[in-house]
Structure 1
Amino acid sequence: MRTLVLNAGYEPLAVVSFKRALVLVMNEKATVIEHIPEDPVWGTGGSYDRPAVILLTRYVRVPGGRTIPVTRRGVLRRDAHRCGYCGRSASTIDHILPRSRGGADSWENLVACCLKCNNLKSDRTPQEMGWELRLTPGAPRGAQWTVRGTDRTDPSWEPYLALAA
């Protein structure tokens, strides 16, 4: 069981275990906004609702713009595991401008790619191949990317994650 943690301004911060969330609530550092009523937690002081979403009582300052690190898994997820050239199922990633020609490992230069297209393209650019990209690659946006652990969301989190998008 996981719990969404909201900053005092209702900004999604993180996803933590329900045990960590319960400790924050019991120490009066957070309040429960949404709970799972059918599965209470029993303790020596009585029963507690299992928290689904909690709100911190004090605002936590988040350091400067959160940058999302570029990863193979992230590029595949951003492109919905679809090849940027042909649209088939993708299992690899491709540098639009090859690294051998100065292409960077950046969100703007990487695209999900099927094995066939990746092998055919090799060390060339899409323009040299006469290919067009099906999408414009860029850094992903939204709470699902900046809040760690929200790739598998709980339905009760949707209203709070929608505020951050």
Structure 2
Amino acid sequence: MRTLVLNAGYEPLAVVSFKRALVLVMNEKATVVENVDGEPIWSAHGSWERPAVILLTRYVRVPGGRHIPVTRRGVLRRDGNRCGYCGKTASTIDHILPRSRGGADSWENLVACCLRCNNVKGDRTPQEMHWELRLIPRPPRGAQWTVRGTEKADPCWSPYLELAA
């Protein structure tokens, strides 16, 4: 069981185990916003519902904004595992402006690509190949990118994750 932790301003912060969430609630550092239907947890001092979403009682400042690192897995996920050139299933990533020509490892210069298109394109740009990109590569946004563990989100989390998007 996992629990979504919200900052005092209802901004999603993290996903923690329900045990960690329960400790935060018992120590009065958080309050339960939503519970999981099921069996309660019994202790010597009573019973507790399993928290699905908790809200911190004090605001936690997140330093310097949240930077989303560029990864192969992230590029494939952003593009829906579809090739940016032909639309088939992608298994690799491609530098739009090749690295040999000064292309950076950035969200704007990387696109998901199938093996065939990647091999045919080689060390050229899409303009030289007379190809068009099916999408404009941009950095991903939203809580599902900045909060770890929300890829497999619980359905009851969706209202809180949508607020942050």
TM-score tier after normalising by the smaller chain length:
over 0.9
Uncovered stretches (5+) of structure 2, i.e. residues with no partner = none
Q: Which amino acid aligns with 2:44?
A: T
Give per-residue Cα distances to partners, 1:30-73, cap 9 Å, x unaligned: 00000013132222222210000000000000112211000000
User: TM-score, normalised to structure 1's length?
Assistant: 0.98
Partner of 2:151: 151
Structure-to-structure mapping, 1:1-165, within 5 angstroms: 1-165=1-165
Q: What RMSD over aligned residues (CA atoms) do the two structures have, in Å?
A: 0.7
Structure 1 runs, 4 residues or longer, greater than 4 Å off: none
More strand by share: 1
Unpaired segments ≥5 residues, structure 1: none
Q: Helix, strand or coil for the counterpart of 2:36?
A: strand
Question: For residues 116 and 39 of structure 2, what CA distance do their matches in structure 1 show?
Answer: 49
Letter paired with 1:14: A
Shift of 1:14: 0.6
Distance 1:96 1:2 in 2: 39
Distance 1:93 1:152 in 2: 23
Give TM-score scaled by structure 2 length: 0.98
CA distance in 2, matches of 1:121, 1:144: 32
- Sequence identity (%): 82
Q: What is the number of residues matched between the two proteins?
A: 165
CA distance in 1, matches of 2:39, 2:147: 26
Query: Tell me, what secondary structure is at the counterpart of 2:31?
Result: strand
Q: Secondary structure at the match of 2:50?
A: strand
Q: Secondary structure at the match of 2:145?
A: helix
Partner Cα distance (1:61, 1:126) in 2: 43
